[in-house]
Amino acid sequence: MTLEGILPVWKPEGFTSHDVVAKVRGILGIRRIGHTGTLDPQVTGVLPLCIGRATRMVEYIQDLPKEYEAVLRIGLSTDTEDMTGNVLEEVSLVQLDETVVREALLRFVGEIEQIPPMFSAVKIDGKRLYELAREGKEVERKSRKVTIHQLDILRMDLQQKHPEIHFRVSCSKGTYIRTLCVDIGKALGYPAVMSSLIRTSTGNIRQEQCLTFEQIKELKDQGVLQNRMIPMDQAISHIPSVELSDQEATHAQQGKRITVAKSRITGAAAGSPTLLRAYSPDNRFLGLYEWKSAGQILIPSKVFL
């Protein structure tokens, strides 16, 4: 059986996202694999891999909100904004109470501005920031807008020398949790770092669905790994859908344009969708199609024959 779909991998500590792809390629003997969002080596968590034709879904899964559990440590700062870097500043006494902390964190919910950290993969003039940082250079970075959908405090340890705040955050693509920790510290009047981070979900793919390398190998050897993979269309269930007639489905797969009234679209929020998942009458996923509201025309974008 040819494996195809989304493989929900639990990324271990010490692996880059590219390392995970290479490891799974070795286990499965499949070249066509793509990951859906970079995680730093020290970060563990949900890393969906797109296998086979599902690699065409990477960009849509990358755009989904992510959820993390993080630990913010207050009272010191580093050049990497996490505990892997060199300490730049440290204060001997931190005095905070729960009310002040809760009020500060609430101010970060919604659309916020972030300046990408120097130790990041953002490119400036063709060079990645972390490459410049390793050369001892610091360059000006433009702030960017990201969205914090939800931020919940899980636990606070405010009596220790460097108080810690354990929190869960749901955020948009491109959010740096390290930078969020640093900015929360500034709002509290202290230097701060991120001391640990776990990604607990990507879109609707959650921690409990994920497989370790050992489990992937075992299931592959048993010939049942496909049963644990997520169908590519389910991984992008946030995109509205439309059911086509047999004739429309044939035309759609031939690359022809089809007239589809908005009333036939399922799952569309306020406004008009621009991209639809199309299905045949027997619920077979046909692919992704652009929908032009002006003429109510469906145009093939990514067709799966």
The residues annotated with a catalytic role in the active site are 40
Please say whether the dihedral angle defined by the alpha carbons of residues 18, 23, 28 and 30, taken in this order, is positive or negative: positive
How is residue 131 written in tokens? Answer: 């490459």
> Cα separation of 259 and 298, whole Å?
6
Q: Can you give the three-state secondary structure of the chain, one letter per residue? A: CCCCEEEEEEECCCCCHHHHHHHHHHHHCCCCEEECCCCCCCCEEEEEEEEHHHHHHHHHHHCCCEEEEEEEEECEEECCCECCCCEEEECCCCCCCHHHHHHHHHCCCEEEEECCCCCCCCEECCEEHHHHHHCCCCCCCCCEEEEEEEEEEEEEECCCCCCEEEEEEEECCCCCHHHHHHHHHHHHCCCEEEEEEEEEEECCEEHHHCECHHHHHHHHHHCCHHHHCECHHHHCCCCCEEECCHHHHHHHHCCCCEECCHHHEECCCCCCCCEEEEECCCCCEEEEEEEECCCCEEEEEEECC
How is residue 119 written in tokens? Answer: 């130790």
> Cα separation of 152 and 109, whole Å?
10
